[in-house]
Structure 1
Amino acid sequence: MGINTERDIEANLQIGPTDAGMVRLFVEGGGVELPMDFTPEEAIEIAEEIIAAAHRVSGGKGKKR
């Protein structure tokens, strides 16, 4: 199993702040609930990695921030 392995699984993703000042990614699917909490700094780093991956896939097309 790896990042390029396709799966036929549906999941829901919610992202938001917690009362404890963390950023939570909450994944729910296949009877599993997976809350992942990150500091604001970690969340920004993750967001930057997602944006960089999207730019690589799109060949640099799209809106840059």
Structure 2
Amino acid sequence: MGINTERDIEANLQIGPTDAGMVRLFIEGNGVEIPMDFTPEEALEIAEEIMAAAHRVGGSKGKR
């Protein structure tokens, strides 16, 4: 299974700060909960990667 493998799985994603000063991605689906904590610096890197991927897929749409 890779990034291009489609799955028919429904999940919820929540993103927010923790009391410990981390940024948490919380994924819940099919009875599984996955909390993933990142430093603010790591979270910014992830955000940049998400934006870069969106720009590659969508071209110049939404580019700032």
- Ranges in structure 2 where 5+ consecutive residues have no aligned partner: none
Q: Is the 8 A contact 2:23 2:39 kept in 1?
A: yes
2:39 matched residue in structure 1 = 39
1:57 matched residue in structure 2 = 57
1:8 aligns with 2:8: yes
Q: How many residue pairs are counted as aligned between the two chains?
A: 64
Question: How many angstroms does 1:63 deviate by?
Answer: 3.1
Query: How much identity, in percent, do the aligned residues show?
Result: 88
Question: How many angstroms does 1:62 deviate by?
Answer: 1.3
Which amino acid is 2:49 matched to? E
Look up the SS of the partner of 1:27 in the other structure: strand
Look up the SS of the partner of 2:2 in the other structure: coil
Q: Deviations over 1:26-53 (max 9, x none)?
A: 0000110000000000000000000000
- 4+ residue runs over 6 A deviation: none
Instruction: Output the TM-score relative to the length of structure 2.
Output: 0.96
Look up the SS of the partner of 1:35 in the other structure: strand
- Ranges in structure 1 where 5+ consecutive residues have no aligned partner: none
Instruction: Output the TM-score relative to the length of structure 1.
Output: 0.95
Which amino acid is 2:44 matched to? I
Which amino acid is 2:22 matched to? M
